[in-house]
Amino acid sequence: MSMLERARPELVAFAPYASARRAGFDARVRLDANESPWDIADDGFADAGLNRYPQPQPDALRARLAALYGVDPAALWLGRGSDEAIDLLLRAFCRAGRDNVVAFAPTFGMYRVGAALQGAAFRTLALSADDGFALDADRLLALADDDTKLVIVCSPNNPSGTLYHGDALERLARALDGRALLLVDEAYVEFAGVASASALLARQPNVAVLRTLSKAHALAGARVGALLAQPEIIDLVGRIAAPYPLPIGSVHAASAALEPAALARTHARIATLVAERERVAAALAGIDGVRTVWPSAGNFVLARFTDARAAFARLLGAGILVRDFSTQPGLANCLRITIGRPDENDALLAALGGARR
Ligand code: PMP
C-alpha cells in the first residue's frame, strides 16, 4: 500500500506555490521572479548570484548527496536541516486533533515540539536508563493504533547515544507496513560505524530516513539536512515546503563539503571523534562523582553524576557548557556531554577532576 494513502487527504493533491522555476523553466534573461537584476557580487562584497532565488532543490547537490547516501535523487529531499523535514512530515501526515505520533523517551525533543505544533498527540514508551535504554519493539508497537501516522526511532539516539539498527528496525517497519511511516533519524549515524537504515527503503515503502550535514560534516551553521523516502513522499514534502528552502550560501558550503578532499578530512575527523568519545567515556567512568556512562554511538556521551547540578556548575565555572537533562523523566542527575576537540575534552576532564592523557 502506498504511504500516500496515510497522508492528510487534503494534501494528496495539494497544489504547491507555483513558480516558473519550480516548473523547470530557466532562461538567459530571467524576468519571472521579481528578483533584482544586479548581482551585488559585482559591487565586490558577496558571492556571485545572490540576487537570484536558488533552485528549489539544487540538482547537483541533490545528486551528490543521493550518491553518498546510496539512494536515487528522486528519493531525497533537501531542507533547512533535518529539523525542517521532521516538521514537514508531521504536517504532511498528521490531522490536527486526530492523529498521533509514537516515539520512545528520552529522545530528540523536536519530535514532541513538532507534533504539538501540528496538533498531533505524542505517545511515548519510556525506556529505562537502568536497562541501557533497551527498546522492546512490541511495547512500542502496542502504542500504535489506526490514527498513528509516524513512529520515530532516533538512532543513534539523542541524548542516550543508544543504537537501534538492523533486524529490529526492519521488523518494526514490517509491523507498521501500510499503517504508519517508520522515521529513522540518523543525524549521528556517521559516528556509529554501522550501515544506514536507508537500505530498508528498497524493501519497505513505509520507511523514511533523516540525514544531516550538521554533525559529521561540520555544517550546522549552513542548515542542510536530507529526508530519504519513497519518491511520492518526497514529492509531497516538496509541495508543502516553502518555495526555496536552501540559501545559495548553504548550497555552496554543502557542495564544498562533499568534494573528495573534504570528505576524506571528514572521515579522518569522524575517526578522531570516535576515539575521543571512547577516551572521554572511559575517563569519565573513572571520575569520582560519575556514577554511569552509557555506551554511545553518537558524538556525545550521556553520564549520570552523583550531583549533576554541582558538576554542571563546576564545568560552567571553567567556561565549559554541557547539556543538563536532569529534569527529564528517567534522567535524574544526567548530563549530556558533546565530544569536542582533544584539548576541549582535556579541559572537560580536568574541570571534573579527572586525569589528563
Ligand atoms: N535529529 C537529531 C537526533 C538531532 O539531535 C538534531 C540536532 N540536534 C537534529 C535532528 C536536527 O539537526 P539539523 O536540523 O541540524 O539537521
**Residue 122 domain-assigned?**
yes
* Cell (9 digits) for 268: 579522518
Contacts of 21 (CB under 8 A, 6+ apart): 32, 33, 53, 55, 56
Residues 63 and 163 reside in one and the same domain: yes
Residues 168 and 269 reside in one and the same domain: no
pLDDT score of 355: 47
Residues 178 and 224 reside in one and the same domain: yes
Select from 183, 214, 247 the last residue of a domain: 247
* Cα 120 to middle of ligand 1, angstroms: 20
CA angle centred on 138, ends 135 and 139, rounded to 5°: 70
Select from 247, 276, 294 the last residue of a domain: 247
The dihedral formed by the CA atoms of 17, 57, 118 and 82, expressed in degrees to the nearest 10 = -170
**Residue 124 domain-assigned?**
yes
Q: What are the tens digits of pLDDT across the range 268-283?
A: 999 999 999 999 999 9
Please report the ipTM that was assigned to this predicted complex: 0.99
CATH number for the domain spanning 73: value is 3.40.640.10
The count of structural domains within the chain is 2
Cis peptide before 106 (omega within 30 of 0): yes
Residues 61 and 97 reside in one and the same domain: yes
Q: How many angstroms separate the CA atoms of 243 and 1, rounded?
A: 29
Q: Is the CB of 250 under 6 A from ligand 1?
A: no
**Residue 231 domain-assigned?**
yes
- CB burial of 145-155 (b: ≥16 within 10 Å; e: otherwise) equals eeebbbbbbbb
Whole domain around residue 338: which residue ranges?
Answer: 261-351
Residue 55 CA: distances (Å) to CA of 2, 19, 146, 232, 266: 28, 11, 38, 20, 26
- DSSP symbols for 144-202: --TTEEEEEEESSPTTT-----THHHHHHHHHHTTT-EEEEE-TTGGGTTS--GGGGGG
Ligand 1 atom with the shortest distance to the CA of 83:
14
Residues 214 and 77 reside in one and the same domain: yes
* Cα 158 to middle of ligand 1, angstroms: 9
Q: Which of 213, 209, 198 is nearest to 246 (CA)?
A: 213
pLDDT in tens, the chain (357 residues): 789 999 999 998 898 888 877 777 888 998 888 899 999 888 887 888 899 999 999 999 999 999 999 999 999 999 999 999 999 999 999 999 999 999 999 999 999 999 999 999 999 999 999 999 999 999 999 999 999 999 999 999 999 999 998 899 999 999 999 999 999 999 999 999 999 999 999 999 999 999 999 999 999 999 999 999 999 999 999 999 999 999 999 999 999 999 999 999 999 999 999 999 999 999 999 999 999 999 999 999 999 999 999 999 999 999 999 999 999 999 999 999 999 999 999 999 999 996 444
* Cell (9 digits) for 340: 569536542
CATH number for the domain spanning 303: value is 3.90.1150.10
Residues 117 and 227 reside in one and the same domain: yes
pLDDT score of 354: 64
Residues 223 and 83 reside in one and the same domain: yes
**Residue 25 domain-assigned?**
no
Q: How many angstroms separate the CA atoms of 120 and 149, rounded?
A: 10
551553521: which residue's cell? 221
Q: Is 265 helix (H, G, I), strand (E, B) or coil?
A: helix
Residues 338 and 202 reside in one and the same domain: no
Report the DSSP pairing between strands 334-338 and 300-305: antiparallel
**Residue 210 domain-assigned?**
yes
Q: Is the CB of 298 under 6 A from ligand 1?
A: no
**Residue 104 domain-assigned?**
yes
- CB burial of 85-123 (b: ≥16 within 10 Å; e: otherwise) equals bbbbbbbbbbbeeebbbbbbbbbbebbbebbeebebebb
Instruction: Identify the DSSP state of 14.
Output: P
Residue 217 CA: distances (Å) to CA of 81, 257, 336: 12, 7, 21
Residues 238 and 333 reside in one and the same domain: no
Backbone dihedral region for residue 218 (phi beyond 0: left; psi -120 to 50: alpha; all else: beta): left
Select from 197, 214, 247 the last residue of a domain: 247
Ligand 1 atom with the shortest distance to the CA of 220:
15
**Residue 50 domain-assigned?**
no
The residue contributing the CA closest to ligand 1 atom 8 is 108
